[in-house]
């Protein structure tokens, strides 16, 4: 899935209307709104940077589809957002750096945004966007209203239908650089941390839309992981997780 700046694409994540040209035009409009009046520079350089990163071949989940899905969720909740441009800018940049073996992708993504926006946008705006990006590490429950909205948007795919959720899990497994065992252990820890929360989604808007299905999906996936890890005979690595690998399109 390429973010080709000279061609459009037919299908988006759910509405079927997202195209590269529309993504580009949306980002350029956002960038222009956020720069200081009179500042020199347009959004084409940062757009090319985004396109290069989101076009990396290893991205099966953290690519254009996830980005477009997040923007759709923002549009649904826009009336509840305090600072819409800050939240949207954070959406564009929160996954721009994605190296599955590193634990600091969000911090590096925030730093890249800071570098591209320096001198072009108000310092207070830059600092707010950086804080929003860092909130998507999901290490603490967000308390700031815009951070709550953004984190809920980032987790919204947990509440999609099971087939879609399983496909996303397969894509995440394909991005993961490690064994199936390591992936399952890491995935289990994250899912169980979400389960222990009184609520997965901080805002009532997203809780009402996705909480029930998200908890069902999480439990179903944990049950699959348990079944695989309890299986008696070790088998070839490529066959261990067929329900992940079959939807990932990569062995």
CATH number, domain containing residue 52: 1.10.3210
Q: Kindly report each contact of residues 72-81 with a partner whose C-beta sits within 8 Å and lies 24 or more positions away, as own/partner.
A: 72/12, 72/13, 72/14, 72/15, 72/18, 73/152, 73/153, 73/156, 73/206, 74/149, 74/153, 77/149, 77/152, 77/153, 77/203, 77/205, 77/206, 80/145, 80/149, 80/203, 80/205, 81/146, 81/149
Question: Are residue 169 and residue 205 in the same domain, yes or no?
Answer: yes
**Residue 229's pLDDT is what?**
79
Domain count, the chain: 2
Domain boundary among 137, 154, 171: 154
The reply to whether 190 and 229 lie within a common domain is yes
Low-confidence ranges of the chain (pLDDT < 50): 1-18, 234-240, 242, 246-251
pLDDT the model gives residue 233: 53
Predicted pLDDT at 244: 56
| Structure confidence by residue, pLDDT tens digits, 12-50 | 333 333 458 899 999 999 999 999 998 887 899 999 999
Same domain, 145 and 171: no
Residue 118 placed within a domain: yes
Which pLDDT does position 40 carry in this prediction? Answer: 81
pTM: 0.85
């Amino acid at each position: 899935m390429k973010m080709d700046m000279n061609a459009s694409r037919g299908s988006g994540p759910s509405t079927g209307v997202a195209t590269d040209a529309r993504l580009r035009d949306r980002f350029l409009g956002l960038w222009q709104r956020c720069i200081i009046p009179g500042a020199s520079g347009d959004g084409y350089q940062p757009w090319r940077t985004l396109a290069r990163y989101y076009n990396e071949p290893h991205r099966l989940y953290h690519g254009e589809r996830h980005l477009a899905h997040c923007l759709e969720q923002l549009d649904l909740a826009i009336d509840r957002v305090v600072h819409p441009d800050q939240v949207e800018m954070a959406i564009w940049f929160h996954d721009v750096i994605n190296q599955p073996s590193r634990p600091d992708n969000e911090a590096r993504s925030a730093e890249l945004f800071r570098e591209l926006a320096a001198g072009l946008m108000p310092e207070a705006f830059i600092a707010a966007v950086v804080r929003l990006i860092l909130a998507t590490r999901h290490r603490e429950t967000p308390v700031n209203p815009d951070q709550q909205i953004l984190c809920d948007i980032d987790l919204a795919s947990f509440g999609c239908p099971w087939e879609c959720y399983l496909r996303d899990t397969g894509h995440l497994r394909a991005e993961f650089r490690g064994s199936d065992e390591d992936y399952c252990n890491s995935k289990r820890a994250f899912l169980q941390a979400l389960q222990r929360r009184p609520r997965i989604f901080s805002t009532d808007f997203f809780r009402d839309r996705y909480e029930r299905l998200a908890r069902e999906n999480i439990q179903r996936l944990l049950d699959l992981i348990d079944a695989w890890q309890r299986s008696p005979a070790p088998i070839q690595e490529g066959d261990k997780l067929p329900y992940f690998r079959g939807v990932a399109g990569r062995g």
